[in-house]
Structure 1
């Protein structure tokens, strides 16, 4: 075989091997690219395990998954250096579930610790309320629960004087609890006794709470999770409501009856026979003056005979 033919054959073989190598390299890289980020998908950081409030974010607690580019929530992290720049720590500001994207709003700043202030939305404030086992629903209120706040205070008359009786009002509705005592996690689900609770409030509501604590006793009423609807018009409950089972602030002519019950209440005024019985039992009684027993005449007699005439005489006078 001629030398030129051998050279041409060798060059062809080398070019063929090079083409196969380049094609294989391109296809392998393309497959990795498609596997890493399919068309229209973006790699984002998510939680690899449940993260509680205050937990450090470390590489072993994070994984990256594909996420639709058109549905990315704001504040996602697309790489580990972006999440933990130069090894600076971040901590979770609220509980994060497995496979939940890690968002800037859920994590502290670079190198910062967790704080209650970081949990507050824009325009909101944190205020602490004194409670006890009873007013705090026996310790069953947990962080992130919502409550209604009641105030029990002394009633004030039209002239501004103390009426000498207590009433209860609904002060605030649908208020989020940030922390109970110094616990902002509440992950164990067990009731815990504490002397104070921190609430998420508007500036005006924070003023109401501060004044309410000076005027009376604040109590919590635990709400069902997800129940957002508030009572548009609340009533002041007084001692009369405990006696007669209707709201004292209802306008005249709208007292509840069988035909006109209190909305949302099964309590009705007592029936007529019950009212009559109560009236008899509570009617003031006049003192009873007992008259002296009538005097009875004595029944003893004696007979006196004078000659042939006999007369009977009563003796002993009157006896009682």
Structure 2
């Protein structure tokens, strides 16, 4: 009986110690998360985090942030962001000391995807390019480009190639299968994935069927300029000449109103200059001839004795 009492007492002591330890741990965690000055610790980036980066403990640190102004989707500890069960990948660039938010990282155990980069109402569309139409590989993800389309315009028995601006200031999501350029060097890709509206996605799909698309690299931060949108035709393939329709789409009607383009080889040859006509000259008069007749008996003979020209 005495032995059983000792065992029960020892068990009670052990359980009490465990309870005290757990209580102290909970209170300590509460003090660390909530400071007396009204701030709460949140996770921020310790280094620049690019798209596709898997979060590691050394990339994260905790800072005090005003409790009444906590960013939505912030995290209170690094344990929520790393580990086998909490593997997270960056889906939008995060700067140093910027709060790590749920909108900028993937879900638990998920990887980065192009779909996660799309804003509301936008679509991702890939277009075929080559070393020329892709600006020799100098276009990189996150650059802004214009999209040109070169196609054939028909007008009765006449057809002509024209080039239009299809889209302006369009963001590049990926080049080929790369959503970021880790080397920083130009790389030629076979496709470019663009961020567009649903209607512009339809335009690109149709444009690839009826013509050839080319990308034009823009200066960062430059705004759209509708006044620069022109339709260029074969009539404009001369230095300093523009005969297209200013700021309007080319149709059969507007095309017929443009000056007709004539290949140089088909132009009529230049006629030589006409020589002035010479004045007519009067014919030279026949020379005056003198004859002498000599009669011998019954025979008469005529002799020419000389002539004088008139």
State the TM-score bracket (shorter-chain normalisation).
Answer: 0.5 to 0.7
Aligned residues of 2:33 and 2:76 also touching (Cα < 8 A): no
Normalising by the residue count of structure 2, what TM-score does the alignment of the two structures yield?
Answer: 0.67
Cα RMSD of the aligned pairs, angstroms, is: 3.9
2:74 equivalent in structure 1: 76
* Aligned residue in 2 for 1:46: 44
- Could you tell me which of 165, 169, 182 is aligned with 1:174? 169
Question: Cα distance 1:292–1:215, how it changes in 2: closer, same or farther (>3 A)?
Answer: same
Secondary structure in structure 2 of the residue aligned to 1:74 = coil
Give me the whole-angstrom Cα distance separating, in 2, the residues matched to 1:199 and 1:291.
69
- Post-superposition shift, 1:208? 0.5
Equivalent in the alignment of 2:110:
112
Q: Is the 8 A contact 2:33 2:40 kept in 1?
A: no
Contact 2:57–2:78 under 8 Å retained in 1: yes
TM-superposed deviation, 1:175: 1.0
8 A contact 2:231–2:246 mirrored in 1? no
Q: What does residue 90 of structure 1 align with?
A: 88
Q: Deviations over 1:53-111 (max 9, x none)?
A: 22211222211112344544332112223334773211111333322221112111100
Structure whose CA Rg is larger? 2
Q: In structure 2, which of residues 270, 273, 289 is the aligned counterpart of residue 285 of structure 1?
A: 270
Alignment partners' CA distance in 1, 2:150 and 2:157: 14
CA distance in 2: counterparts of 1:187 and 1:148, whole angstroms = 24
Alpha-carbon distance between aligned partners in 1 of 2:244 and 2:158, rounded to the nearest angstrom: 15
Alignment of 1:111-130 (within 5 A): 111-130=109-128
Per the alignment, in what secondary structure is the counterpart of residue 80 of structure 2?
helix
1:153 aligns with 2:147: no
CA distance in 1, matches of 2:304, 2:221: 118
Q: Assess if the C-alpha contact under 8 Å between 1:45 and 1:63 holds in 2.
A: yes
Query: 2:85 touches 2:108 (CA, 8 Å); kept in 1?
Result: no
Name the CA distance, whole Å, in 2 between partners of 1:162 and 1:87: 68
CA displacement, residues 163-221 of structure 1 (integer Å, 9 cap, x when unaligned): 42111111111211110001101243221111110111221111100000011111111
Gap change, CA 1:69 and 1:150, over 3 Å in 2:
farther
Q: Which moved more, 1:74-83 or 1:98-107?
A: 74-83
In structure 2, how many angstroms separate the alpha carbons of the residues matched to 1:285 and 1:42? 88
Tell whether the 8 Å contact from 1:152 to 1:168 is kept in structure 2 after alignment.
Answer: yes
What do residues 21-55 of structure 1 show as CA deviations (whole Å, max 9, x unaligned)? xxxxxxxx99x959974634331111122223222
Of 240, 244, 250, 1:248 maps to 244
**1:186 has 2:181 as partner:** yes
Aligned 8 A contact 1:135 1:218 in 2: yes
Name the SS of the counterpart of 2:232 in structure 1. coil
Residues in 1 aligned to 2:34 and 2:214: alpha-carbon distance in whole angstroms:
54
Unaligned runs of 5+ in 1: 1-28, 252-281, 298-305, 314-320
Residues 47 and 100 of structure 1 are in contact (CA less than 8 Å); yes or no, is this contact kept in structure 2?
Answer: yes
Structure 1 residues 308 and 141, CA gap change in structure 2 (3 angstroms): closer
Give the length in aligned residue pairs. 249
Report the Cα distance in structure 1 between the residues aligned to 2:210 and 2:171, rounded to whole angstroms: 23
Tell me if structure 2 keeps the 8 A contact 1:84–1:110: no
SS at match of 1:66: strand
SS of the counterpart of 1:186?
coil
Partner Cα distance (1:205, 1:110) in 2: 33
Q: Distance in 1 between matches of 2:33 and 2:160?
A: 74
Unpaired segments ≥5 residues, structure 2: 1-26, 248-266, 284-291, 293-302
- Aligned-partner Cα distance in 2 for 1:113–1:33: 34
Residue 100 of structure 1 corresponds to which residue in structure 2? 98
Of 188, 193, 197, the residue aligned with 2:192 is 197
Match of 2:6 in 1: none
TM-score, normalization by structure 1: 0.65
**Residue 213 (structure 1) aligned with residue 208 (structure 2):** yes
Distance 1:83 1:72 in 2: 18
